Structure 1
Amino acid sequence: MEQLDIQTILTFGFALAVVITIFKSARVVPQRSNFVIERLGKYSRTLDSGFHILIPFIDKVAYIQTLKEEVIDVNRQTCVTRDNIQVGIDGILYLQVIDPMKASYGINDYRYAAAQLAQTTMRSVIGQTDLDKTFEERAKINEEVVRALDEAAGPWGVKVLRYEIADIELPISIKDALEQQMRAERERRAAIAKSEGERQAMINVSEGQKQEVINLSEADKQRQINEAEGRAREIELIAVATAEGLRKIAEAINQPGGQEAVSLRVAEQYVKEFGNLAKANNTMIVPAELANIGGAVAGLTEILKSVQK
């Protein structure tokens, strides 16, 4: 009975040792992770994701490194700009392990080292920048910080992907001054916009007046042209009618009895005009040959004949 108990204890102990050995020797590495293996205290190899067998009590997992992108919060720090203004800046750092062996043996804690280096680099970059530029050139500042960190983190097996400024805290006096400056800038822009609007309005009014004057002058010019064309047409028509009348009179004179009709017409007009002259003036003008009206008519008839020839 006593021997059976000893045998049972030995069997149980052996089984427990086998389980411990299997647990020590079998390792499953998760996706996007690496196990750094040491053999008898010395770096042996790096295990990628999957199932692996280790030598019990000789190989051990010294470090477990993740290959995922890590986000590190960089604590707020006080920086002095080139124009001697103190500002509080905090940021966020994004990095990734690309060499697990260097990340394990190259530095004690790469996360803490990267955060501290980001703070010192940020102080250096801000010290070379004016306060106004810290707001306008955030992207440039972030690039300079990333470039300096990535160069320093190369021996650590770490890749610095990007750095973002989360917040910039200004002193109260500087905030008030910036608010006054922005208010003045807005008022200046409003005044410029108003003056530009008034200027454009005046230009539009003057252009309208100019166009109105041009239109009126064009209308007056066209009116004068039309009137001149109308008068010219009138003169032309009168001349044509007069010529036609004279032509018909000339034809009528050559007809039988035409000469006598002309003489009679001339005598009538002579007497009529002489009567009108007597009505218009108090003074009576009597021609020397008033008694010989026939002679005057004969003389006018001779003139008409000569014109006709």
Structure 2
Amino acid sequence: MEVALVLLIVAAIFVVRAIKVVPQQSAWVVERLGKYSTTLKPGLNVLVPFVDKVAYEHSLKEIPLDVPSQVCITKDNTQLHVDGILYFQVTDPMRASYGASNYIVAITQLAQTTLRSIVGRMELDKTFEERDAINTSVVAALDEAALNWGVKVLRYEIKDLTPPAEILRSMQQQITAERDKRARIAESEGRKLEQINLATGERASFIARSEGEKQAEINRAEGQAAAITAVADATAAAIAKIAAAIQQPGGQDAVNLKVAEKAVEAYAQLAQKNNTMIVPGNMSEVSALIGTAMTLLRQSPQPPQSPHSTPAGNTR
């Protein structure tokens, strides 16, 4: 009974040491008598008990690795605190086991030294502008060196770039000055556009006013020309009618009578409107004029009357 129990225990030990179940996305390195033998793949694997031994277990997943913060000196001698994060993956479990004593420490140290070298070739302002270029350069340098360690560096990301407090204040002042400059430029551009728009509007308004005044002057000139033409036509028609009337029998006598009437009316108005009595220098001219008018009245009992004439009796 005791022998059977011992044999059962020994068999259980053999089974435990012989059967290995490897998880997914994992790789186990097996040594046989202290020498590399094989790499176990995910699933059920059988080993030789007490001869084969699982020496290393590696995860084939992508692993994030925090790179500690460090002080880097830029090309313009400015201290800069830089920290980042590195993503890598084990691609060759055998090399990862025997290529370096600790590939994680090796990658971390290489990332720091590479980052210091890259930042040292840049000025402070460029380090903020060229973060993608820095990340790419670090990945390229690490990937080449980590090839012998069975590790693939996938990407590197800078988490923070922190310059000294004095530099931060100077940068803030520079940013404030730049923003003020852009604001002033934008304001001046706005005033410039405003002046241009006002000048354009005034020019258009002046042109419109001048065009309107020009058209108004043309219209007035055309109206005056039409009025003068109408007056001239009416005057010509009136003169023609008067001339035709004069040619009629008794027309000349009617004209003489009208002239005499007007003369008498003129003398009468001068005597009424002025305190000083104005008389002709030769009174015989007035008598002759009146006599002529009376003779014409006697010779022509019904002289032609104009719309503006007055009866002969009122002129005396």
Residue matched to 1:153:
146
Residue matched to 2:218:
225
AA of the residue aligned to 1:54 = L
AA of the residue aligned to 2:199 = S
- CA distance in structure 2 between the aligned counterparts of 1:166 and 1:31, rounded to whole angstroms: 31
Name whichever of 210-219 and 233-242 sits farther off: 233-242
SS at match of 1:221: helix
User: Normalising to structure 2: TM-score of the pair?
Assistant: 0.76
Taking only the aligned residue pairs, the percentage that are identical comes to 45
Name whichever of 109-118 and 232-241 sits farther off: 232-241
Deviation of residue 125 (structure 1)? Answer: 0.5
Pairwise mapping of residues 30-69 of structure 1 onto structure 2 (< 5 A)? 30-69=23-62
Deviation of residue 204 (structure 1)? Answer: 2.9
1:189 corresponds, among 163, 182, 198, to: 182
- Cα distance change on mapping 1:120 and 1:246 into 2, 3 Å: same
Residue matched to 1:4:
none
Q: Any unmatched runs of 5+ in structure 1? A: 1-7, 295-309
AA of the residue aligned to 2:126 = K
2:248 corresponds, among 253, 259, 266, to: 259
1:111 corresponds, among 96, 104, 123, to: 104
Q: Structure 1 residue 86 and structure 2 residue 79: aligned?
A: yes
AA of the residue aligned to 1:180 = Q
- Cα distance change on mapping 1:262 and 1:79 into 2, 3 Å: farther
Aligned length: 282
Residue matched to 2:298:
none
Measured against aligned partners, the alpha-carbon deviations of 1:211-260 in whole angstroms (never above 9, x if no partner) come to 332222122122223223333444455566667x479959x959xx9734
Measured against aligned partners, the alpha-carbon deviations of 1:81-103 in whole angstroms (never above 9, x if no partner) come to 00011111111111111222222
- Cα distance change on mapping 1:195 and 1:40 into 2, 3 Å: same
CA-based RMSD of the aligned residues comes to: 3.3
Name whichever of 12-21 and 191-200 sits farther off: 191-200
Deviation of residue 114 (structure 1)? Answer: 1.0
Name whichever of 134-143 and 276-285 sits farther off: 276-285
Residue matched to 1:96:
89
Deviation of residue 271 (structure 1)? Answer: 4.5
SS at match of 1:259: coil
Deviation of residue 162 (structure 1)? Answer: 1.2
User: Normalising to structure 1: TM-score of the pair?
Assistant: 0.77
- CA distance in structure 2 between the aligned counterparts of 1:259 and 1:145, rounded to whole angstroms: 129
- CA distance in structure 2 between the aligned counterparts of 1:268 and 1:60, rounded to whole angstroms: 162
Deviation of residue 197 (structure 1)? Answer: 2.8
Name whichever of 199-208 and 115-124 sits farther off: 199-208
AA of the residue aligned to 1:141 = I
Q: Structure 1 residue 15 and structure 2 residue 15: aligned?
A: no
